[in-house]
Amino acid sequence: MKKYLDVLKTVDLFKDIDECDLQPLLSCLSAKESHYEKSQTVFSTGERIERFGIVLSGQVQIVQDDYYGNRSILAKIDIGNLFAESFACSETKTLPVSVITTTESDLLFIDCHRLAVPCTKACGFRSRLIQNMLSIVSTKNILLTQKIEFISKRTTREKLLAYLSAEAKKA
């Protein structure tokens, strides 16, 4: 785990948590590191999960296969980013998507139940961790709402204008 300390310091989930607290925190969360080869399936559609992942090295894709075997790439998750947190922490634990590595990857998995339930040691960083997770999920929710706003426009022209307007507001 020390090998990826620099990556972990950049992960939004661990924002404002001291470097010296990271190792005890990961131990408290029952974090597990796993290695995957290129094109290996991390999670499959229909699978029940209770852990979400953080990319320590490599890259994963969130994909969805339709009835006819066509694959849609929904997202590419790079180093330092979380994936499957919404599914792991929700009541609906079956995945409607698959997670597949695009390169040789090292991933860190955290049990969502351990994140939400206070530990017996009364760790001081627990509330910061929950705030960070709430911020991550909220930000992703806002981005998804914005995508829905763009695709709900009737014409391609309206969709493009809505997108470009949103980008102009950011700048």
Residue 1, pLDDT above cutoff 90 = no
Residue 122 has a pLDDT of 56
- Spatial CA neighbour of 98 closest among 44, 48, 155, 153: 44
Q: Where are the alpha helices (DSSP H) in 107-125?
A: 112-116
- Is the confidence at residue 27, as pLDDT, over 60? yes
* Tens digits of residue pLDDT in 33-84: 999 999 999 999 999 999 999 999 999 999 999 999 999 999 999 999 999 9
Give the mean model confidence (pLDDT) for residues 85-111: 92
Other CB atoms within 10 A of residue 135 CB: 13
**Could you give the 3-state DSSP secondary structure of residue 88?**
helix
Helix axes 156-170, 126-151, angle to 10 degrees: 140
Q: Please check the confidence at residue 156 and state whether its pLDDT lies above 70.
A: yes
Position 120 scores a pLDDT of 64
| Confidence check: pLDDT of 159 > 60 | yes
Could you tell me what percentage of the chain is helix, strand and coil, using 3-state DSSP and rounding each to the nearest 5? 40, 25, 35
Residue 126, pLDDT score: 77
The verdict on domain 2-126 having CATH code 2.60.120.10 is: yes
pLDDT of residue 121: 65
In three-state secondary structure terms, 49 is coil
Residue-wise pLDDT for 113-154, tens only, equals: 888 776 666 567 778 888 999 999 999 998 899 999 999 999
Which residue spans within 66-136 are E strands per DSSP? Answer: 71-77, 82-83, 98-101, 105-111
Under the banding of pLDDT at 50, 70 and 90, the label for residue 85 is very high
- Could you tell me which of 32, 82, 31, 78 has the C-alpha nearest to residue 58? 78
Compute the average pLDDT of residues 8-24.
Answer: 91
Question: Considering the entire predicted model, what is its pTM?
Answer: 0.85
- Rounded to 5 degrees, φ, ψ at 50 are -130, 0
Looking from the CA of 63 toward its CB, the CA atoms found within 13 Å total 20
pLDDT at res. 70: 95
